[in-house]
A = this chain, B = another copy of it.
Amino acid sequence: MEAFTFETAITVRFAETDAQGVAHNAAYLVWFEVARIDFLARYVQGYKHIQELGYEAVTIETHVRYLQAVHFDDRIVIHARCGDLRGARFSFEYALRRGGELVADGWTRHALLDRTTMRPTRFPDWLAEALDPADGA
């Protein structure tokens, strides 16, 4: 894939830390989701818009690598990109940076469902192109 072109940021909440004094491992999946939502807001008018058009996306696989401990109040920039659209499936990749330092990365895989039947459905072309211009070519 090409370089990450989308980014958003979060600040680590106190509630996201644990008794080891660092952000809990499950919080990263919430941050990945925040990045996906922001990504969809920028490129396809938001997740709600996708729902209104009759689609739902579900998460089918997640992967996180924790490279450096992250602490309360750290500002984390999340770089995200969408790709690998095949049939009803797509994936997101993420890189989390604090200052210039890579502190974590990972990816998630998803399936696009028809909201009426809740069964996997092929991407409409406009959505495939909006999410991954390279793929739609």
* Interface presence of A135 (CB below 8 A): no
Contact, CB under 8 Å: B66 / A63: no
Q: Is the interface of A mostly helix, strand, loop or mixed?
A: mixed
Number of interface residues of A (CB under 8 A): 37
CB distance from A56 to the nearest CB of B (A): 7
Quick one: CB contact mask for A47-65 with B, threshold 8 Å, 1 for yes? 1100000001011111111
Q: 1/0 per position for A65-78, CB-CB distance to B under 8 A?
A: 11101011100000
Q: Which residue of B lies closest to A30 (CB)?
A: B15
- Show the binding face of A for B, using Cβ within 8 Å: 13-15, 17-22, 24-27, 29-30, 33-34, 37, 46-48, 56, 58-67, 69, 71-73, 108
